């Protein structure tokens, strides 16, 4: 009696499956059924890919936030400087 081999599921297939969840507007259950995988398997792939993505480091949103914080700090310092200059002008007059 021979056992049937499971098909090899590539990382690209897993990524595409997870992308379908986010973009297709279909539920996890519907997507899992369409792809012929268990719901728990699809859920696990999504969790694993999400965790791997988080471990890659800062994303564009985080970089943008850091840049905006630096700009905000510069603007605060400039506002303080010019407020002091205005105050000094008033005391001289």
Residues whose CB is less than 8 angstroms from the CB of residue 48 and which lie 6 or more positions away in sequence, other chains included: 14
Q: Which of the pair, 57 or 51, is modelled with greater confidence?
A: 51
Domain ranges of the chain: 9-57, 58-93
Query: Mean pLDDT throughout 63-89?
Result: 91
Query: Mean pLDDT throughout 53-78?
Result: 86
| Farthest-apart Cα atoms in the chain, separation | 103
pLDDT given for residue 15 in this prediction: 93
pLDDT given for residue 4 in this prediction: 66
pLDDT tens string 1-47: 556 677 788 999 999 999 999 899 999 999 999 999 999 999 999 99
């Amino acid at each position: 009696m021979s056992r049937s081999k499971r098909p090899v599921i590539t990382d690209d297939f897993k990524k595409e499956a997870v992308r379908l969840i986010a973009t297709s507007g279909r539920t996890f259950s519907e997507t899992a059924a369409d792809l012929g995988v268990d719901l728990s398997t699809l859920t696990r792939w999504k969790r694993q890919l999400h965790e791997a993505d988080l471990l890659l480091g800062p994303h564009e949103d985080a970089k943008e936030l850091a840049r905006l914080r630096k700009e905000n700090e510069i603007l605060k310092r400039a506002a303080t400087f010019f407020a002091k200059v205005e105050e000094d002008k008033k005391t001289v007059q």
